[in-house]
Structure 1
Amino acid sequence: MNDATRRRFLGLASAGAASLLPSAPGRADAPAAAEPGAGDACILTPQSEEGPYYLDPKLVRADITEGRPGVPLSFRLRVIEAGACTPIAGARVDIWHCDARGLYSAFRDQGDGHNIDQTGKTFLRGTQRAGQSGWAAFNTIYPGWYAGRATHVHFKVFLEDRTVLTGQTFFPEALNEFIYNNVPDYTGRPKQRLVINANDRVATEADPDHRAYCAVKEERDRYVAMLTLAVDRNGKPNAEIMPSGPPSRAPWIKDRLAALVPGLKRSPF
């Protein structure tokens, strides 16, 4: 794929994302640009299951890569109060996600052969405090994938040591497909990626309205992903959401192109 084709492809994948992002790259507390319909961000962000791979290594840091290979990603979250849309300065934000090969730090029995042990490691985990405008920013890599799940990043928001939001954010599938098929750090997996946003049970059941899908912008040396997290500061502490029983089987995708590219007006199933 030549450079011009690649840029047209990525333009489709991230269309409209630029107007959603902070105006100053690298600053955790840069103001967001105004956008028509931005009031939708003030609706409560949906809760989602914590999953099996959370731990708190007590690492307050912006750079969480620890040398893991992958496409550079600036991941920016803004914490606001639902309804009022006011930023919540000082909110604690945790994120964690897998590396380019689908591995989480700190856990064993991972990988395509379920035989990789990452205990004792802390890569791709970290904590930041939101600034005066509500922004918290992390330098990381574009997440990879593992069997049974779509591409995602986990997050938690704490207010005064109370967990007020546990969730996951998802990425544009056309961009996922491009990276996983073309970037060497992500290629060469023994099996095809079968679960994507359209048939991931967490994405479809916990977030059917796509309120926690991030916007992605291509910059010269990295991608930038942004999401606004609307929380209820006076609500009850969020109970950790874990799956009840074995996961439901993901529906089979018959038309992969329809599942990857929005607006084709045909069913992927």
Structure 2
Amino acid sequence: MTDHQEAPGKKQLDRRTVLVATGATVTALGAGGALAVSASAQDNRATPGTGQGAGDGEPCYALTSETTEGPYYIDADKIRRDVTEDQEGIPLRLRLKVIDAESCRPVRNAAVDIWHCNAAGVYSGYEDQGSGGGGPAPTGEPPTGEPPTDGPGGPGGPGGGGGHQEPTDDERYLRGTWRTDRHGYVTFETVFPGWYRGRCVHIHVKVHVDGEWTDAGYEGGHTCHTGQLFFDERSVLLTADVQPYAANTTERTTLDEDTIYPGNGHEGGLLVLDYDHRHIARGVRAALTLGVAPDETHDSTDTPPGATASPSAS
């Protein structure tokens, strides 16, 4: 439970229930095991605001940009920090800090969801839709021309819009939920995401507050942040030379071309990355502070910044 309660008289929100995963196997980072070192404190300064510090001498932060949920969200049914399962890819340790952007205090015991595609651009739960919903996993020569703004793989098509879609299979790799600690931190073990046509490389994230952690998982509360986390072009280009990413021949949308990325750096979800530029395959550490408004509700209804993007772009 956070320290922030809903204002008296505020409309009661529907309760959400998160079920604890059973039999989930936690896997080691393997070649990226050295990533056990904590991410740099730089993430604490990732989204500076203009206000005065109010908590433990930290500066206040700008609100992290709200973006669209996308069609492939599954109300979290895997309570776990390691979401890798059997997916191949560059080990990624994602460390997020959730703070109240107004008071600068950490948001404790929040439920944080992440989900993203695998190296081939495929989302678990929607494997039959292929790469980002735009057809089978990519093979052969990459397509030419501009990414579509509508239709398969474009913001208005199966891979990028049309509202939430119900899962078509029971796979749940690269998805999970974990709680923030008393300092507002939460850490996930995963792999560096791949890409699909029409979108840059990204990770989806939601923050839920005012609920209760029980033996069954996380119950009630509301969603105070729905966003996406982004990777700089240098890191993505380096991964493109490493298998299995090198086998993904789908035309890639760059960060600047993406219709969802707000273009405002860390405030817009651009991650702070740490890795060996000569050997990125050994693993990547990613960190960011999320400045949220715990008393507000931000779910899938938020409009993305791109004027041509559908409100449900993936």
If the length of structure 2 is used for normalisation, what is the TM-score? 0.63
> How far 1:242 sits from its partner (Å)?
6.3
- Asked if the contact 1:93–1:156 (Cα under 8 Å) also holds between the matched residues in 2, the reply is yes
Q: Secondary structure at the match of 1:62?
A: coil
- Asked if the contact 1:98–1:104 (Cα under 8 Å) also holds between the matched residues in 2, the reply is yes
What number of residue pairs does the alignment pair up? 218
The answer to whether residue 272 in structure 2 is matched with residue 215 in structure 1 is yes
**Relative contact order, higher structure (CA 8 A, sep 6+):** 2
- Asked if the contact 2:106–2:184 (Cα under 8 Å) also holds between the matched residues in 1, the reply is yes
- Asked if the contact 2:95–2:187 (Cα under 8 Å) also holds between the matched residues in 1, the reply is yes
> What is the aligned counterpart of 2:98 among 79, 86, 99?
79
Rounded Cα–Cα distance in structure 2 between residues aligned with 1:189 and 1:39: 36
Q: Match for residue 227 of structure 1?
A: 288
Q: Match for residue 173 of structure 1?
A: 233
> What is the aligned counterpart of 2:246 among 167, 180, 187?
187
> How far 1:42 sits from its partner (Å)?
1.1
Q: Match for residue 133 of structure 1?
A: 183
- Asked if the contact 1:57–1:122 (Cα under 8 Å) also holds between the matched residues in 2, the reply is no
Rounded Cα–Cα distance in structure 1 between residues aligned with 2:120 and 2:307: 22
Q: Match for residue 41 of structure 2?
A: 32
Q: Secondary structure at the match of 2:239?
A: helix
What percentage of residue pairs aligned between the two structures are identical?
Answer: 33
Rounded Cα–Cα distance in structure 1 between residues aligned with 2:45 and 2:302: 35
Q: Secondary structure at the match of 1:202?
A: coil
- Asked if the contact 2:230–2:271 (Cα under 8 Å) also holds between the matched residues in 1, the reply is yes
Provide, for residues 176-231 of structure 1, a one-character-per-residue CA deviation record: whole Å limited to 9, x for no partner: 01111x101111334432x111010001xxx2312110100016942100011111
> How far 1:146 sits from its partner (Å)?
0.5
**Structure 1 192/38 Cα, relative in aligned 2: closer, same or farther at 3 Å?**
closer
* One-letter code aligned to 2:230: F
* One-letter code aligned to 2:125: A
Q: Secondary structure at the match of 1:43?
A: coil
Describe how 1:67-146 pairs up with structure 2 within 5 A. 67-107=86-126, 108-111=128-131, 114-115=135-136, 119-146=169-196
The answer to whether residue 287 in structure 2 is matched with residue 248 in structure 1 is no
Structure 1 vs Structure 2 CA RMSD: 2.9
* One-letter code aligned to 2:174: L
- Asked if the contact 1:97–1:154 (Cα under 8 Å) also holds between the matched residues in 2, the reply is yes
**Greater helix content:** 1
- Asked if the contact 1:77–1:136 (Cα under 8 Å) also holds between the matched residues in 2, the reply is yes
* One-letter code aligned to 2:273: V
- Asked if the contact 1:42–1:85 (Cα under 8 Å) also holds between the matched residues in 2, the reply is yes
Q: Secondary structure at the match of 1:158?
A: strand
Rounded Cα–Cα distance in structure 1 between residues aligned with 2:190 and 2:44: 26
Provide, for residues 47-91 of structure 1, a one-character-per-residue CA deviation record: whole Å limited to 9, x for no partner: 000001100242110110001000000011110000221111101
Rounded Cα–Cα distance in structure 2 between residues aligned with 1:150 and 1:201: 9
- Asked if the contact 1:105–1:118 (Cα under 8 Å) also holds between the matched residues in 2, the reply is no
Provide, for residues 98-152 of structure 1, a one-character-per-residue CA deviation record: whole Å limited to 9, x for no partner: 0011010001311287136972100000001000111000000000000000000
Gaps of 5+ in 1: 1-23, 250-269
Q: Secondary structure at the match of 2:48?
A: helix
* One-letter code aligned to 1:201: T
Gaps of 5+ in 2: 1-33, 50-59, 138-166, 211-220, 310-314
If the length of structure 1 is used for normalisation, what is the TM-score? 0.73
**Structure 1 42/71 Cα, relative in aligned 2: closer, same or farther at 3 Å?**
same
* One-letter code aligned to 1:241: T
- Asked if the contact 1:27–1:137 (Cα under 8 Å) also holds between the matched residues in 2, the reply is no
- Asked if the contact 2:46–2:288 (Cα under 8 Å) also holds between the matched residues in 1, the reply is no
* One-letter code aligned to 1:179: T
Rounded Cα–Cα distance in structure 1 between residues aligned with 2:299 and 2:247: 39
Rounded Cα–Cα distance in structure 1 between residues aligned with 2:174 and 2:45: 33
